[in-house]
Amino acid sequence: MKIARDLNEVEFDRKSAVTVGTFDGVHLGHRQIINEVNKVKEDKELRSVVITFDPHPQIVLRNKAKDIKLLNTTEEKLDHFRELDIDLVYIINFTKEFSQTHAVDFYKNYLINGVGLSDLVLGYDHMFGKNREGNFETLKELSNEYDFEVHKIDEFAPGGEHVSSTDIRHALETGDIPKASRLLGERYSITGTVVHGHKKGRELGYPTANIELDSHFKLIPRLGIYAVQAELEGKRYFGMMSIGYNPTVTDEKQLRIEVHIFDFDENVYGKKIKINLLEYLREEKKFDSLDELIKEMNSDKEKTLSIIEKLKNN
């Protein structure tokens, strides 16, 4: 898969099946669009192209950019496109200046005369250009003038369940991990680097890896305790994760993400780690004593082991 961040890096090819979007989460709805791109690619012997944006448009356009929470980092998104067998990903640098580009100018300059265009595949709710002025009527006129085909993908709602990045964010923020997993088509994950923490977990019999996230725009799910699967140096392990402020052991108001990996005792400081969420176990609590906390952690472990057993049997 080729990745281009400037139009000069893109080889013009009229025989291209193209889609455009932010694709936050690369969820099941997005995958319907990308699957159609690949189908058109195979049927017509074309090149498959995804055009996306970095940073996410909302980071640039919203007043409180720090409040933006995304399901994917750009690197995670690229990993998905690679898995979905896309030939070219063109990442447009989204700026306030770019946001003023009119719809027709965008499609003429970047797709028709830029990347090259035979077929354009878009979701049913796609709007584009300055103030989202462009729609499928605009595209119909352009396609007649410049001889390309537009494929409009209907809403994907498996079992009547709406699929959108907003729905997935809400599910994660409320601890509904099964729903988030269903709509994503996979486990929601967070990635980061293992850093030094206060080492209180080791004293309690539950040593943890403290995680510093790769992006501060990455959505952190509901505070509390989770059953998780960790990926570290190409290997997978089960464990438990705490997202919160550790009120029983410290008064610091610093949000911490800590993972206890079962049957694991290696030095992993400075190493990359990926955490896949399996299930939300409970809210974070402040206990009256460390003994009560340890008792609850033992219970969390039993619940997690039960969840793992069910997964292995399915």
| Residue 225 β-bridge partners | 242, 282
Contact 21, 159 (CB under 8 A): no
- The verdict on whether 42 is a catalytic residue reads no
Which of 36, 76, 258, 279 is an active site residue?
Answer: 258
| Lookup result for tokens 């952690």 | 297
- Per DSSP, the three-state class of 19 is strand
Q: What angle do helix axes 177-184 and 165-173 make, rounded to 10 degrees?
A: 160
8-state DSSP, 129:
S
Nearest to 243 by CA among 218, 265, 226, 263: 226
8-state DSSP, 8:
G
Decide the pairing of beta strands 235-244 and 224-232.
antiparallel
| Residue 274 β-bridge partners | 191, 231
Nearest to 110 by CA among 18, 15, 24: 18
Q: Cis (ω within 30 of 0) for the bond into 57?
A: no
d(CA 73, CA 22) in angstroms, rounded, equals 11
Contact 209, 261 (CB under 8 A): yes
Helices (H), 5-88: 28-44, 57-61, 74-83
Token pair of 218 as six digits = 């990455």
Q: Which residues are annotated as catalytic?
A: 258
